[in-house]
């Protein structure tokens, strides 16, 4: 049982050994892993996305149905904010762990596409992605570039389907259920994990916040790397609360893996 945030160097060493010994390692990531890429999280006082706007007014399925113009005035800005953002060292560190066979999958609550852009292969996006939007009437789906073009061309700032109906981003809004297949895959990964890395998540948004409990119930362990408290802190084998990029790069160093920001060494003869 952990009694608080551990010293970074010691925690990195302990976490590296846990990763090496676990039969299956799965990462669960939240908004905090994307903060170093310049994307604000949701709940930090003063800077979080929901500190500036009521999510029930702009990010609820009822808000989309009731007032798509207001909905898209928010989501259009969100799309613009995410457009030029790049994966950071924390995303790259998870790619490196997966590349060498020490990470089975990444389950993410994020919709920003940064894990995919970083190169993660086995990715479960339980809250969907901004990569595409769909028409709730006829079911047609449009890629992000097309959606952006339709948004800029519409007089009301609402990307519309060819049938004339407003498009909805393929992300899980408040008031919607998670995609059944994606969440079932996430639950299976959590149940089989010997170690779950909980990175940048407050672990407060259910049902995803229940995944660490699934791992613990199956006999696995959890490691938490996030700023701010979580309900699972005292049950974590490792608890780190500093810069997520520095912490994950320290774990790579303990595992004798190359930093993802530096070129890999040339192959031997």
Q: What CA–CA distance (Å, rounded) separates 154 from 224?
A: 44
pLDDT (0 to 100) of residue 54 = 61
What pLDDT does 146 receive? 92
- The phi and psi torsions of 35 (rounded to 5 degrees) equal -60, -40
Q: What is the pLDDT of residue 82?
A: 76
**Residue spans of alpha helices (H) in the chain:** 8-21, 55-58, 61-66, 68-83, 89-99, 114-118, 144-153, 180-192, 211-217, 244-254
pLDDT score at 265: 41
Q: Which DSSP category does 143 fall into?
A: E
Dihedral angle over CA of 214, 225, 114, 46, nearest 10 = 110
pTM of structure: 0.87
Mean pLDDT by 10 residues, the chain (269 residues): 59 96 96 90 52 67 92 80 86 97 97 93 94 94 92 92 95 90 97 98 91 97 95 96 94 88 44
- Check residue 52 and give its pLDDT: 61
Helix (H) or strand (E) holding 88, with range, is none
- Residue indicated by tokens 């996430």: 186
Catalytic residues: 127
* Domains of the chain from N-terminus onward: 1-39+87-127+177-260 (3.40.50.1220), 42-84+131-171 (3.30.1600.10)
* pLDDT for the residue 192: 97
> So what's the pLDDT on residue 55?
62
């Amino acid at each position: 049982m952990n009694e608080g945030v551990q010293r970074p160097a010691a925690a990195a060493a302990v976490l590296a050994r846990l990763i090496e010994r676990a039969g299956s390692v799965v990462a669960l990531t939240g908004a905090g892993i994307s903060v170093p890429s310049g994307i604000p999280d949701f709940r930090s006082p003063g800077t979080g996305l929901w500190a500036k706007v009521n999510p029930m007014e702009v990010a609820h399925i009822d808000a989309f149905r009731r007032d798509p113009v207001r909905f898209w005035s928010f989501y259009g800005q969100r799309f613009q904010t995410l457009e030029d953002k790049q994966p950071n060292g924390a995303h790259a560190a998870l790619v490196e762990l997966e590349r060498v066979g020490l990470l089975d999958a990444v389950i993410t609550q994020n919709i920003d596409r940064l894990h995919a852009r970083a190169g993660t292969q086995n990715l479960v996006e339980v809250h969907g992605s901004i990569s595409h939007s769909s028409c709730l009437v006829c079911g047609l789906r449009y890629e992000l570039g097309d959606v952006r073009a339709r948004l800029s061309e519409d007089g009301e700032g609402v990307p519309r389907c060819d049938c004339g109906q407003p498009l909805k981003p393929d992300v899980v809004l408040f008031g919607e259920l998670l995609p059944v297949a994606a969440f079932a895959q996430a639950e299976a990964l959590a149940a089989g994990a010997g170690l779950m890395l909980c990175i940048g998540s407050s672990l407060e948004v259910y049902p995803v916040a229940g995944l660490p409990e699934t791992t613990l119930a199956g006999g696995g362990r959890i490691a938490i790397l996030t700023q701010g408290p979580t309900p699972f802190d005292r049950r974590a084998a490792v608890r780190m609360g500093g810069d997520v990029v520095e912490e994950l790069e320290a774990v790579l160093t303990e595992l004798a893996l190359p930093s993802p920001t530096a070129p890999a060494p040339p192959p031997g003869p």
